[in-house]
Structure 1
Amino acid sequence: MAVQTEPSDVAKTAAVRGQDGKPPVGQHGGNKRKPGIGAAPYLLMIPALAVTALLLGYPLVKNVMLSFQNLNMGQLIQHVTEWNGFKNYQEILTGEDFWRVTLRTIVFTGVNVVLTMVLGTLIGLLLARLGKRMRFTLMVGLVLAWAMPVVAASTVFQWLFASRFGVVNYVLDKLGWHSMAEFNWTGSQFSTFFVVTLLIVWQSIPFVAINLYAATTTIAKELYEAASLDGAGVWKSFTSVTFPFLRPFLYATTFLEVIWIFKAFPQIFTISEGGPNRLTETLPVYAFVEGVGNQHYGMGAAISLLTILIMLGLTSYYLRIVLKQEEDEL
């Protein structure tokens, strides 16, 4: 009786490749990729990059050119280009106003970012512990606050804190603070910044809270059960389980909040236009007032470019700290 044996691997390979040693049509040896497939993702990115360069690159280049010009309403009407080199930058950097506004902007950004991240984190953790109905109700309120246009929200706060017919002054008066009946919230630097900070934090909290709650849903419940078996309380569970998982999210969100708050313009301009006596101007408002308000367009362009450089410096410094901490943890 003839014994049938399984064909060897060589025989199988030969059968598959055929007599001429080449794979049949439709089959490719190994993981050989089709020619040209590596360039396809880059080709698909060209339209998006072209639109970005058109909408962002051209205005930026135009702004750089304006910053080296002496451009006011007279030159603008006569279509005269008057180049003055680095005179705008020299005047800005040697003056006290720019550095005073820069320090004010950094402090303002730091206070708002800290308040936003702390309150947003607390509300995000609260969302994770609420029941479905209460969570849904709170999230609807957060989304509505987040979706309100900035100018509309600023106008509402302007009405709330109006000196004569504002709701805040009326409530404070009824609660016994009669001196607040006609208090002018935009009459001093501190009170104006208080209103603006309240507005910006109110608008920023929903982004932090909702995204942090979404991040908490990715944490396995088994980790909390294991921590509970080890005798960990609420605070220990947060520091050993919750916070390590949320740390990358907190880093990224803080980075985004720094950028968003640093360049905040409509909130401040709608509430006070940088007053009183230009004491609440931040760098974006300062650039607008000098450029458009005082019709020194070249000066305003130079201030805006310096603002971009300062923001890039702050964000790069923050990213260096984050990356260093991540390297230390590895």
Structure 2
Amino acid sequence: MSVQIGEAPPPVDSGPRREERGGAPPDKSGKRSRSALPYLLLLPALAVTAIVLGWPLVRNGMLSFQNLNMTQLIQHVTEWNGFANYSDTLGSENFWRVTARSMVFTVVNVVLIMVGGTLTGLLLARLGARMRLLLLVGLILAWAMPIIAATTVFQWLFAQRFGVVNWVLAQLGFTSMADYNWTGTQLSTFFVISVLIVWTSIPFVAVNLYAATTTIPRELYEAASLDGAGAWKSFASVTLPFLKPFLLATTFLEVIWIFKAFPHVFAINEGGPDRLTETLPVYAFVEGVGNQHYGMGAAISILTILILLGLMSYYLRIVLRQEEEEGGQ
């Protein structure tokens, strides 16, 4: 075949394409291995969590289906009684009374902690460097104090005869409070417990909220001030939208921590007087260990977990709904 001058040469047939020759497609094993790498890295932590948390939970669940007291424990006898522990617990008026008390106790303390922690965190954001450092040191010291040590301090502060609180109130003119027994009634005992819990919990909220405020761009406040926004309007339009995810997450954690709080309640007065300040964790301990009905205590603890999960499921739906709304914007 001859090619004339000025004509384009015919295309050279280089044979079938790579795909037509049966060439292998690009290897996807590398992408799969990279996508599986995070899960492989999580395996050690998940294994430790399953051993440390999962196994005791399984054992506690098995124990809740047994009739176990000191006699069976000494004789190493396993006596299964099915759902008897659960039916007895759910049929007890005392259980539902303690459950309602625990919910009210949780709501009141979480509201106080979130309000106090938010105000303290906003105060940290406005203070000067020296005063901020001083307040941060005080908050961290209160937060780092062991619970039993803090409980001992509060027992001394609210002691009937030599307590600092009674002495201060008497000096201020409230002479009837000079010998007041703060753990003698239900409300006064809960007051002491709530003050202790709020005092030890506010630092967590305040420090984290202050850290969240440092991520808010200053330009937004400048733009709000140029628009004539005052302090409250700047807080509502700039600060609050940025802090809302943090507040939701912190409230979620505080509900869990307060609902399952045990040492604060038990160490102050062991659920007294007359078991009127028992919350569900204390109630489970008293019924299980105190009365040596270990199967009953295990059943109450499992029900406590289920109640907490039920409360958290409603709250999680609110959080997820908000994230979907923010993602759609």
- Name the TM-score, length of structure 1 as normaliser: 0.89
Cα deviation, residue 32, structure 1: 8.5
2:307 aligns with: 310
SS of match in other structure, 2:181: coil
1:269 aligns with: 266
1:280 aligns with: 277
Does the alignment pair 1:94 with 2:79? no
Does the alignment pair 1:57 with 2:38? no
SS of match in other structure, 2:42: helix
Does the alignment pair 1:230 with 2:237? no
Does the alignment pair 1:291 with 2:266? no
The CA distance in 1 between the partners of 2:248 and 2:319, in whole Å, is 7
1:179 aligns with: 176
- Give the 5 Å matches for 1:60-75: 60-75=57-72
The CA distance in 1 between the partners of 2:246 and 2:44, in whole Å, is 30
Deviations, residues 175-196 of structure 1 (Å, cap 9, x unaligned): 1111111100000000000000
2:194 aligns with: 197
Alpha-carbon spacing, 1:188–1:236, altered in 2? closer, same or farther (3 Å): same
Deviations, residues 94-128 of structure 1 (Å, cap 9, x unaligned): 11011000000000000000000001000000000
The CA distance in 2 between the partners of 1:314 and 1:203, in whole Å, is 23
Alpha-carbon spacing, 1:180–1:35, altered in 2? closer, same or farther (3 Å): closer
The CA distance in 1 between the partners of 2:280 and 2:105, in whole Å, is 11
1:246 aligns with: 243
The CA distance in 1 between the partners of 2:42 and 2:218, in whole Å, is 40
Cα deviation, residue 47, structure 1: 1.6
Does the alignment pair 1:301 with 2:304? no
1:14 aligns with: none
Query: Any unmatched runs of 5+ in structure 1?
Result: 1-20, 22-28
2:15 aligns with: none
Q: Which of 216, 220, 230 is matched with 1:219 structurally?
A: 216
Cα deviation, residue 48, structure 1: 1.3
SS of match in other structure, 2:97: helix
Deviations, residues 44-72 of structure 1 (Å, cap 9, x unaligned): 22221111111111111100111000100
Cα deviation, residue 174, structure 1: 1.1
Cα deviation, residue 30, structure 1: 11
The CA distance in 1 between the partners of 2:304 and 2:319, in whole Å, is 23
User: What percentage of residue pairs aligned between the two structures are identical?
Assistant: 76
Alpha-carbon spacing, 1:116–1:34, altered in 2? closer, same or farther (3 Å): closer
The CA distance in 1 between the partners of 2:121 and 2:258, in whole Å, is 20
Deviations, residues 140-187 of structure 1 (Å, cap 9, x unaligned): 000000000011101110111010111111111111111111100000
Does the alignment pair 1:119 with 2:116? yes
Does the alignment pair 1:136 with 2:140? no
The CA distance in 2 between the partners of 1:211 and 1:44, in whole Å, is 28
Worse overlay, 40-49 or 166-175: 40-49
Cα deviation, residue 40, structure 1: 2.7
Alpha-carbon spacing, 1:35–1:92, altered in 2? closer, same or farther (3 Å): closer
- Name the TM-score, length of structure 2 as normaliser: 0.89
Root-mean-square deviation (Å) = 1.6
Alpha-carbon spacing, 1:95–1:181, altered in 2? closer, same or farther (3 Å): same
Q: Which of 309, 318, 325 is matched with 2:322 structurally?
A: 325
Cα deviation, residue 33, structure 1: 3.5
Cα deviation, residue 42, structure 1: 2.1
Tell me which amino acid in the other structure corresponds to 2:210: Y
SS of match in other structure, 1:36: helix
Q: Which of 256, 259, 266 is matched with 2:256 structurally?
A: 259
